[in-house]
Structure 1
Amino acid sequence: MDLRTRSHPTWIAFLVHRVSGLLLALFLPLHFWALGTAIEGEARLEGFLRWADNPLVKAAETILVVLLAAHLAGGLRVMALEFLGWRRRQKDMVAASAGLALLAGLLFLLNVV
């Protein structure tokens, strides 16, 4: 089995896109649970918001934003491949999408803290 292609930046971008999508899908039930607390009353929502003030939860929110940005950037890269065809600068597109995802997480973190 030839593993050389698995170290190529475009394969890593493919993997990040798929893993971020999977992790976001796993997050959805937690999101719906959190929204459900708002329906159950003001006291339950207030308790949830106090819990969400935990620094560990804030870190998880930042990771979630990075996952969302990475998935969006990966999806845009795939769409560019579909509609624009293969480009010689694929590595540049991968680096730009990774940079934008990290920038989104950093901006969110700076705004949250």
Structure 2
Amino acid sequence: MDLRPRSHPTYLAFVVHRVSGLLLALFLPLHFWALGTAISGEARFDGFLRWTENPLVKAAETGLVVLLAAHLAGGLRVMVLEFLGWRKRQKDMVALSAGLALLVGLLFLLNVV
């Protein structure tokens, strides 16, 4: 029996960690396709690089970096819970994970633009 409400921050952190992992797994075939363009020839790869200059692609890259950071921070939060047993500070860890993910995305966006 789950005693925590679904609106609890730790449940939200659980959902974000799982959804970010799923979206990153769905991204992998696209990543391998992009790497395949480098193998198939210089002209095709140059065309792909020109396509990546599109502002929509830049926004998607920023979203991808935020997903990576959220998944990493969520995974670190779970590891802290498992190995250190800091169960009383879960809300703090959720806030730290979310802040870290957004900070990484913002830093990436500032370097891209």
TM-score (norm 2): 0.96
Identical-pair percentage: 88
Q: 1:1-113 residue pairs with structure 2 within 5 A?
A: 5-113=5-113
Q: Which consecutive segments of 4 or more residues in structure 1 shift more than 4 A?
A: none
In structure 1, how many angstroms separate the alpha carbons of the residues matched to 2:86 and 2:15?
18
Q: Distance in 1 between matches of 2:4 and 2:91?
A: 16
Distance in 1 of aligned mates of 2:96 and 2:17: 14
What's the secondary structure of 2:63's corresponding residue?
helix
C-alpha deviations, 1:40-92, integer Å up to 9, x for none?
01000000000000000000000000000000000000000110114211101
Shift in alpha-carbon separation, 1:4–1:79, aligned structure 2, 3 A? closer
1:97 is aligned with what amino acid? Answer: S
Tell me how large the CA RMSD over aligned residues is: 1.4
2:9 aligned partner, one-letter code: P
Amino acid at match of 1:17: H
Runs of at least 5 residues in structure 1 that lack an aligned partner in the other structure: none
Secondary structure in 1 aligned to 2:6?
helix
Counterpart residue identity of residue 20, structure 2: S
Look up the equivalent residue of 1:78 and give its one-letter code.
Answer: V
Specify the code of the residue in structure 1 equivalent to 2:43. Answer: A
CA 12–27 in structure 1, closer or farther in 2 if over 3 Å, else same:
same
SS of the aligned residue for 2:88 comes to coil
Secondary structure at 2:87 match in 1:
coil
How many residues are aligned here? 112
Distance change in 2, residues 1:46/1:3 (3 Å): farther
User: How does the TM-score come out when normalised to structure 1?
Assistant: 0.96
